[in-house]
Amino acid sequence: MRARMPRVPPPVVALLLSVLLFFVAGVLQPGFLNVDQAINIVRLAAFLGIIAAGQTLVIISGGEGIDLSVANVVTLGAILTFMVSGGASERLLPAVAVALAVGAVIGLVNGLGIVALSIPPLVMTLGMAGVVKGTILAVTQGDIPGGVPPLLAKLVTGRLLGLPGVLYLWLLLALLMWGLLERTGYGKRLFAVGVNRSTARLSGVNVPLTVVITYTLSGLLAALGGVLLLGFTQRVFLSLGDSYLFPSIAAVVVGGTVLAGGRGSYVGTMAGALVLTMAESLLRAMRIGEAYQMIVFGLILVALLAVYGRQRDSA
Amino acid sequence: MPESAFHQDNRRSTPLKRAPLISARNVAKRYGAVRALVDGNLEIHPGEVVALLGANGSGKSTLGKVITGMTRPDGGQLQFDGTTAPVTSPEHARRLGVSAVYQELSLVPDLTVAENVFLGNEPTRLGGLDRRLMQHRTAELLESFAGVFTVPVTPGTVVGNLPPSERQLVEVVKALSRQPRALILDEATASLDGRQVDRLFELMAGWRDQGLGLVFVSHRMDEIFRVADRAVVLRDGATVGQLQLRGGDDRRTAERKLVELMTGGGEAGALLLDEARPRAAVNRDAREPALRLRGFASGILAPLDLEVGAGELLGLGGLQGQGQSRLLLALFGAAPHRGSVELDGRRVRVASPRQAVRAGIAYVPGDRNRDGLLAVRPILENLQLPNWERYGTPLRVGAARKDAQMVASDLNVRLAGLDANVSTLSGGNAQKIVIGKWLLRRPRLLLLDDPTKGIDVEAKEEFYRLLARLQADGTTVLFTSSDDAELLGLCERVVVLHDGRVTAELTGPTLDKGSLVAASLGAR
Amino acid sequence: MRAAPAGAARFRNLTFLVPLLVLALAVLLNYLLQPNLFQPRVLNGNLRVMLPLMVLTAGQAVVILAGGIDLSVGAVVSLVNVLLVTLVTPDSGPAEVLLGLAVGVAVGALTGAVNGVCVAYLRLQPIVTTYATSFLFSGVALAVLPRPGGALPRGLTTFYRSAPLGVPAAAYGVALLLLVWWLLRRTRFMQHVYAVGGAAAAARASGVSVSWIRFSSYVVMGVFAAFAAAMLTLSTGSGNARLGDAMTLPSIVAVVLGGTRLAGGAGGVTGAVIGVAILTVIRNLITFANVPTWYQTLVDAVIILAALAGPGLVRRLRGSR
């Protein structure tokens, strides 16, 4: 086996990098270095991290797994919560239930298309992304009635011990993700399927079922991300989730989850989300203009990929 | 060392005045810990057909690969036309005039016959492919096999639509298109039908007469005697002798000599097994056999009837690729099959590995890295892979670890800890993990595909002891091996397969090396 | 060994036949709903819109045929677009225009080389890598032209809208594209692209340099992207650093719609061109079928998903996998 693992785990590197960037930003922009700013950045990272949770599972499952529909499912989740709750806190629970259920169904369709019809994940989720977007337009018709339940806003933005609620929710999600990946049969089977589908199959694992479950969960988690994002932005608009799509993939990869599958962790994705958000904030703090921000961001990403993203030699 | 055969050959061979086309001397090659070739020697002269013979693991394929540039040797010398030339790649070999015909290695299914034949060597005209020339030349080359194609084969046929036999013929044609001076055919007849083999041999005789040097690597005695002038035998990675076939001894004597060369006559391997001899007495009384197959067929395997008793260790012998692995795979539900399977008298469906596992069947694959292990995952996960559902939700990891530790200790696996990456284990220990993952389930039927390949002696001994214990517990074991001595030493009964059919069932007095090798080659 | 789709024997090179049929059907429906479809003005307009995407999709098809994929194509289009409007002004003479074009093509090739090195030699995963480089290229585009602007010589833009010999200029563009493809298809290079995309191991065993082919496919992509940008610039007459962004995903969808296998090794540019036409016609259909505005995106997406799922469904029903 020639897997050349870097000796320091990627999540740790990402974390250290984030801290480093934070201080660099502080040097470049005096006044940057304060607790509020740090919390702000972590809070922004939280949303990306939550949205990237499903993406993490999908990428771990291997088989060129990827979910390009997350952005639109995020938006849909937010919109459904907005509409079903109508702004009433009492209706928050049913609203969230509806959002999650719809997200799960979308994920299920993705999974079935990939497993039963052998449609490459890239193509299937890309197609579904369009369908979701179209559904949003058709259902809302540009005019989205509803409201943000105060309870939701409080949960997300309200502070406990000085930290915004979403951070606690993120931590809770992290715990659940850890539990899912490390303490359930599904999690163990997921890693197996991602590493070596042949071995998994020859050890009695139901590979297609595992894959379908994974994409279903991805849809559900994306919808959850949308719900929480709603609590933060407190308004809905059609491109709500768009800017989270590719960063969600980048966060997973930077966090050490190999695109080939079979290795990774949600902690890694969290660190990846952190470092990406930090890089973006740093670039903004440097006031170098959007153009140079993008260039540097692209270069950083390529560099990180060159270190962590090497493919196993397929041919 | 049967030197008599060697010297006898020297006296009787026609003196060949021309320099050898290819000369391989003392070639060595190792793959990791496995020494595939230790001292390979081969000379090929223009105008002759040399057969390269050897049992499994003899190194004959490796030698062929070295000569054709598929692998670089670790030692030894290669000469072409008298000049020393280390071959760097298959392309380099082709330029030197050496072409290889392997089993469908170099064909792209989406391309046509003509495109495949000229892949990497396309003629051009005015900057673009000269398709007309390609078609023309390919049609010419295909003419050699006219009349023996089972389906229409034209230069424009898409290769992916052709059956394996025709694809093999395309590989032959492709090698020919380079107008080689030496042609190496490695098991090239494996997928061909009778008439196609006839034609190929006719052509080979023709090529030989035109001055080509041909190497024919095969395990089929019949074919070797039909087409080869001379046979070179490898054993345990070294050339141990050669025999002039044309104009030499009569068939039976020659065959006997070849088998002697191939087996070496020694019983070194069996010494190993004396210690492991505590075999459970096989229970073959009136009760139902533990396993009964009726009309069981899959892929190359022809319909087979088989009965195996509880606690019996049945060996599946024969050279590699004769259907033994396929039988095990199909029995585990991992390959399509027909026919009935009964366990302890009850019919079971094994349409998928999951069903097989539930029925109490376990399988240890031949390629543990590709099919048996999760390379980058910890040992614990490898050991418990089929078993996680027994530990509830949330997983009682403590219990899982305890059980895994128990199995690991039981098997005497030398490991740093359950959380160590499985790729840190040596071959023998890794194989124990592959077997270990099934032990907690106490399977009734254990299917082992060449389980001791690439494993050190100590681990083998431990493995034999494990087998004996499992047998004593009543587990039925089906077992293939590339090590004939092992097969003979462990099993009380060996069923030998050749081209998917059972050629012999060896027990008691017939359970000896000579019979095994003879049956493996389809010899009389 | 993977089998080619059944019945592909004689039609191996004609993977675009089914998409062509689909296109014919769609155009027929379109004509029924929009009788003036074939009037010069309308046809001209449709072709002008389709041409840049067709050229871009052609490049994407080459990359996908070799077994890769490129998500930075839109960014490259933007980049070349802004370079063109920076180098070429309304007063430029022919020499300057040609120089600008040459620079654009060179830059396009360079971006392809960057992608190619990363994917073929560093063996980075294509999807995420080309996504990362898209940021790079977009950023440079933005740096070159922070605000949309610029203009081309009047003569060029009017030419693009004209119809020499009664045929829309854009139609010549499509014809030229198909001609280029016909020439390219006949080269040894393209043959090796198909081999590498179809069975890289077999190609390597036959002496083909797999890394070089993969690298080159990205460079070819870059060149096509540059020309796509040129067409687009002719069409819009100005520059915008975000212009090409929306073209990336449709280029992939069109390639798949046109019958090219996403894993590589089968398909071609003809299909890709048809794929773009299908996308455009579908959009037209939806407009003229009086599908309520708010449902248009959904219907469009469902049709596309069905088309993408098509091959898989057919394979499943046939029983071969």
Closest CA to B49 of B184, B215, B189: B215
Q: For residue B488, what pLDDT band results from cuts at 50, 70 and 90?
A: confident
pLDDT, residue A221, reads: 96
Asked if the model's pLDDT at residue B231 lies above 80, the reply is yes
Is B126 in the same domain as B32?
no
How many helices and strands in chain B, by DSSP H and E?
18, 22
d(CA A116, CA A217): 18
* Confidence (pLDDT) at B285: 52
Structural domains present in chain C = 15-27+42-310 (1.10.3470)
CA B500 to chain centre: 13
What residues make up the domain containing B506? 269-520
Where is the domain boundary, B153, B179, B205? B179
For residue B64, give Cα distances in angstroms to B22, B195, C202.
Answer: 11, 26, 18
CB atoms within 10 A of CB B226: 16
* pLDDT of amino acid B18: 64
Highest-confidence segment of A117-131, A203-217, B59-73: A203-217
How many beta-carbon pairs below 8 A join chains A and C?
157
- Give the C-alpha separation, B98 to B183, whole Å: 6
ipTM computed for the complex:
0.85
- Residues paired with residue B39 on neighbouring β-strands, in sequence order: B238
Which comes out higher in pLDDT, residue A247 or A210? A210
Q: Do A188 and B385 touch (CB under 8 A)?
A: yes
pLDDT for C5: 42
pLDDT digits (tens, 9 = 90+) for A219-258: 999 999 999 999 999 888 888 888 898 889 888 988 878 7
Model pLDDT for residues A103-151, shown as the tens digit of each residue: 999 999 999 999 998 888 988 998 999 999 999 988 888 788 888 888 8
Smallest CA–CA distance from A4 into chain B, residue: B376
Do B124 and B197 share a domain, yes or no?
no
Residues B128 and B24 in one domain: no
Chain-chain contact of A183 with B397 (C-beta, under 8 angstroms): yes
Closest residue in chain C to residue A288, using alpha carbons only: C143
Both structure tokens of C80: 């070349």
Question: Does B356 share its domain with B432?
Answer: yes
Asked if residue B50 lies in contact with residue B214, where contact means CB atoms within 8 angstroms, the answer is yes
Is B149 in the same domain as B274? no
pTM of this prediction exceeds 0.90: no
Show residues of chain C in contact with A291, CB under 8 Å.
139-143, 146, 241
* Pairing status of strand B338-343 against strand B346-347: antiparallel
Q: Is residue B352 part of a domain?
A: yes
Chain C residues interacting with chain B (CB cutoff of 8 angstroms) = 1-4, 6, 8-10, 12, 183, 186-188, 191-192, 194-195, 198-199, 201-203, 205-208, 265-266
Q: What is the 8-class DSSP label of residue B390?
A: G
Chain A CB contacts of C69 below 8 Å: 122
**Does residue A38 register a pLDDT over 90?**
no
- The residue to which tokens 């214990």 are assigned: B469
Of B230, B245, B265, at which residue does a domain stop?
B265
Please indicate, yes or no, if residue B376 is contained in any of the structural domains. yes
The answer to whether residues B320 and B175 belong to one domain is no
Residues B199 and B332 in one domain: no
Neighbours of chain B (3+ CB pairs under 8 A): A, C
Amino acid letter, A211: V
Quick check: B372 and A191 CB within 8 A?
Answer: no
Query: Between the CA of residue A30 and those of A19, A24, A25, what are the distances in Å?
Result: 16, 10, 8
- Give the pLDDT confidence of C206-238 residue by residue, as tens digits: 889 999 999 999 999 999 999 999 999 988 888
Question: What distance in Å separates the CA atoms of residue A77 and residue A82, rounded to the nearest whole number?
Answer: 9
Instruction: Compute the distance between CA of residue B451 and CA of residue B447 in angstroms, rounded to an integer.
Output: 10
- For residue C184, the chain B residue with the least C-alpha distance is B128
Q: What pLDDT does B462 receive?
A: 81
- A10-308: CATH topology is ABC transporter involved in vitamin B12 uptake, BtuC (1.10.3470)
pLDDT the model gives residue B287: 59
Q: Are residues B310 and B273 in the same domain?
A: yes
The number of distinct structural domains making up chain B is 3
**Is A185 within 8 Å of chain B by CB?**
yes
Chain B interface test: which of A177, A199, A314 (most B C-beta within 10 Å): A199
- Helix A35-60 crosses helix A266-285 at what angle (to 10 degrees)? 140
Q: How far is C262 from chain B (nearest CA, A)?
A: 14
Contact status of A254 with chain C (Cβ, < 8 Å): no
Q: Which of A188, A198, A199 sits opposite B388 (nearest CB)?
A: A188
pLDDT value, residue A311: 54
Residue-level pLDDT, tens digit, chain C, 321 residues? 444 443 343 455 677 788 888 888 888 888 888 887 777 778 888 888 899 999 999 999 999 999 999 999 999 999 999 999 998 888 878 888 889 999 999 999 999 999 999 999 998 888 888 988 998 999 999 999 888 888 888 878 888 877 777 777 888 889 999 999 999 999 999 999 999 999 998 998 888 999 999 999 999 999 999 999 999 998 888 888 888 888 998 899 899 888 888 888 888 999 999 999 999 888 888 888 788 888 888 888 898 888 888 777 777 777 644
| Residues B184 and B306 grouped into a single domain | no
For residue B104, tell me if it sits in a domain: no
**Beta strand B291-298 with B338-343: parallel, antiparallel or unpaired?**
antiparallel
Neighbours of B267 (CB within 10 A): 14
Neighbours of B205 (CB within 10 A): 15
pLDDT at C36: 79
Give the type of residue at A227: V
Which residue on chain A is closest to C115 by alpha carbon?
A302
Contact assignment for A202 to B334 by CB distance below 8 Å: yes
List, in sequence order, every residue forming a beta bridge with B98; answer none if it has no partner: B182
Alpha-carbon torsion angle B244, B246, B249, B250, nearest 10: 140
Cross-chain Cβ contact B104/C1 below 8 Å: yes
**C136 interaction partners in chain A (CB closer than 8 Å):** 294-295, 298-299, 302
The span from the CA of C57 to the CA of C64, in Å, is: 10
CB C131 within 8 A of CB C72: yes
Residues B366 and B438 in one domain: yes
Identify the CATH number of the domain in which residue B337 sits.
3.40.50.300
| A296 shares contact with chain C (CB less than 8 Å) | yes
The residue ranges of every structural domain in chain A are 10-308
A-B contacts at Cβ under 8 angstroms:
83
Indicate if B187 and B167 belong to the same structural domain: no
Q: Can you tell me the mean pLDDT for B198-218?
A: 91
pLDDT mean over A87-95: 89
Q: Mind telling me how many Å the CA of C181 is from chain A's nearest CA?
A: 25
A184 with B393: Cβ contact below 8 A: yes
Last residue of a domain, one of B144, B164, B179: B179
Q: How far apart are CA A81 and CA A227, in angstroms?
A: 6
Q: Do B93 and B118 sit in the same domain of this protein?
A: no
Identify all chain B residues contacting C192, using CB atoms and an 8 Å cutoff. Answer: 119-120
| Residue C132 contacts residue A314 (beta carbons within 8 Å) | no
